[in-house]
Amino acid sequence: MPISRAWSSGFSRVRSELRLCRGVRGLLLCAVAGATGAMAGMPDTTRQAALVHMVREDCGSCHGLTLRGGLGPSLLPVSLQRLTAEDVAAVILHGRPGTPMPPFLGILDADEAHWIAHQLRQGFPQEPARP
């Protein structure tokens, strides 16, 4: 699905979620959606933890465990400044045809790719230390 379509379907979802918020009965639904981050089309916190793990392990296998580059280029904020978050999300979803960068569409949805793109551009979170 082209990224623009993915976005507009995301927007219409947010719009319909906003519609839920109208009226007193809606307020409760809205609060629940807001608490899980679902309203903004953002992955919930459990999924965010899984995404952080996936990026560090899977993306890290090509982009380096510290994301400073390996087979693939560095994914540190300073390296991604020349790209918009949209560009980064598009590379994640569709890959770079003709290069080893694979498409992740099917593994990640558009919201998840955008979330990862935003995190990468501002400094990707570390995984919490495990006991």
R_g of the chain computed on alpha carbons: 16
**Looking at 64, 69, 73, 103, which residue binds ligand HEC (CB under 6 A)?**
73
Candidates 8-16, 20-28, 30-38, 66-74 — which segment interacts with ligand HEC by CB under 6 A? 66-74
Looking at beta carbons only, is 32 or 71 nearer to ligand HEC?
A: 71
Amino acid at 115: W
> Is residue 72 within the footprint of ligand HEC (CB under 6 A)?
yes
Q: Residue 88 in contact with residue 117, Cβ under 8 Å?
A: yes
Q: Residue 117 in contact with residue 104, Cβ under 8 Å?
A: no
Token pair, residue 96, equals 């770079």
> Is residue 53 within the footprint of ligand HEC (CB under 6 A)?
no
- In the three-class reduction of DSSP (H, G, I as helix; E, B as strand; rest coil), residue 89 is classed as helix
> Is residue 100 within the footprint of ligand HEC (CB under 6 A)?
yes
Dihedral pair phi/psi, residue 15, rounded to 5°: -60, -45
Looking at beta carbons only, is 100 or 106 nearer to ligand HEC?
A: 100
Rounded to the nearest whole angstrom, what is the least distance from the CB of residue 32 to ligand HEC in the complex?
Answer: 30
> Is residue 63 within the footprint of ligand HEC (CB under 6 A)?
yes
> Is residue 86 within the footprint of ligand HEC (CB under 6 A)?
no
Interacting residues with ligand HEC (CB under 6 A)? 55, 58-59, 61-63, 71-73, 75, 79, 88, 91-92, 96, 99-102, 104, 116
